[in-house]
Amino acid sequence: MENEELFKRFEAYLSDNLFSYRSFHPHFERAYKEMFEAGGKRFRPLLLLNVVDSYEPLLVESALPVAMALEMLHTYSLIHDDLPTFDDAALRRGKETLHVKYDEVTATLVGDALNSDSFLVIANAPLADDVKIELIRCFGENSGGGGMVLGQAIDCFFEKKKLALDELKFLHIHKTAKLIAASLKMGGIIVNLPKVKLFKLYDIGLKIGLLFQVQDDIIDATKSESEVGKPTSNDTFKNSFVNLLGIDEAIKKRAELKDELLNEIKELDSRLQARLTQIIMKYFK
């Protein structure tokens, strides 16, 4: 399947299968689904699904819950990142953030629920138990205290303290790149790739994640809020590649990372190589 078809298939699955909670709470269920209905690039799910479709197209259907789990956990991280205790953002994906539209408690608890539910979705996926154990292991390693959450902790603690370049890379490898790398690796786990290929996919994913972050920092410095659907020019006190290197050097760094990545992808199997090249050329113009 082409990327557009995978995207549509994933969107349909997400719409039909995201949890529906029934209670007398006046808005929890609506808030739970709101950020998904606002759309998104679905970057991490598409990475996983492209790996699966490149090797075992018949397993795409079974992989959809795992792709959904990735988007759920990523969405939880965005909801929490927007809270007043973090970035205090009023806009996400062109919509009011949950703490603005509802309240801070609702936003926090929706994020908590999405985090927990993402693991439940993988546990219930129609895959072999040993595969699900490895998926959950990879998911947890890269999203928790050794991955995304650690990166967030470093980002917050050092917000007004300038980091060295290697420290900045460490921050964003954990906060952003590890979950992107896990997306590729988890696709490889589903299709039972050998360990050497899993390591290669993970390493490529880390590089995609760094490229993703450099580009995001450039967008924050150069685009308007209406163009990107979230607040921009709000990283003044943060450790970003633009703040550390300057806009011109950050743009140069983006080009270097992109070239390195495209060369490294050439070592992959031809079908996956073509898929990832297409994604990189689309998202990192």
* Residues 6+ away with beta carbon under 8 Å from 133: none
Integer Cα distance of 262 and 50 in angstroms = 16
List of domains in the chain? 3-283 (1.10.600.10)
Residue 2: per-residue pLDDT: 84
The answer to whether 55 and 62 are in contact (CB under 8 A) is no
- pLDDT band, residue 285 (cuts 50/70/90): confident
Residue 1: per-residue pLDDT: 80
Other Cβ atoms within 10 Å of 151 Cβ, number:
22
* Residues 6+ away with beta carbon under 8 Å from 185: 138, 198, 201, 202, 205
**SS3 assignment, position 96:** strand
Residue 241, amino acid: F
Residue 20: per-residue pLDDT: 87
**SS3 assignment, position 25:** coil
Q: What is the DSSP letter of 91?
A: E
Q: Quick check: 225 pLDDT over 80?
A: no
- pLDDT band, residue 88 (cuts 50/70/90): very high
Residue 236: per-residue pLDDT: 61
- pLDDT tens-place string over residues 235-268: 566 889 999 999 999 999 999 999 999 999 999 9
Q: Quick check: 45 pLDDT over 80?
A: yes
Give mean pLDDT, residues 109-125. 98
- Percent of the chain having pLDDT more than 70? 95
The pair of three-digit structure tokens given for residue 249, joined into one six-digit string? 């050097």
Residue 238: per-residue pLDDT: 80
Integer Cα distance of 190 and 272 in angstroms = 15
Q: What is the DSSP letter of 71?
A: H
- Percent of the chain having pLDDT more than 90? 87
Instruction: Kindly report the average pLDDT of the chain as a whole number.
Output: 94
pTM: 0.95
Q: Which of the residue ranges 16-20, 47-51, 117-121 would you say has the lowest mean pLDDT?
A: 16-20
Q: Quick check: 231 pLDDT over 70?
A: no
Residue 54: per-residue pLDDT: 97
Q: Quick check: 233 pLDDT over 60?
A: no
Residue 156: per-residue pLDDT: 93
Single out the residue of 178, 181, 149, 183 nearest to residue 67, CA to CA: 183
Question: How many Cα atoms occupy the beta-carbon half-sphere of 107 within 13 Å?
Answer: 24
The answer to whether 74 and 45 are in contact (CB under 8 A) is no
Q: Quick check: 170 pLDDT over 60?
A: yes
Single out the residue of 188, 176, 233 nearest to residue 43, CA to CA: 176
CA 215 → CA 22, 212, 244, 281, distances in Å? 40, 5, 14, 13
Q: Quick check: 190 pLDDT over 80?
A: yes
The answer to whether 122 and 132 are in contact (CB under 8 A) is yes
The pair of three-digit structure tokens given for residue 221, joined into one six-digit string? 């410095």
Q: Quick check: 274 pLDDT over 80?
A: yes
* Residues 6+ away with beta carbon under 8 Å from 161: 239
Residue 235: per-residue pLDDT: 57
- pLDDT tens-place string over residues 138-162: 999 999 999 999 999 999 999 889 9
* Residues 6+ away with beta carbon under 8 Å from 142: 148, 178, 179, 181, 182
Residue 280: per-residue pLDDT: 93
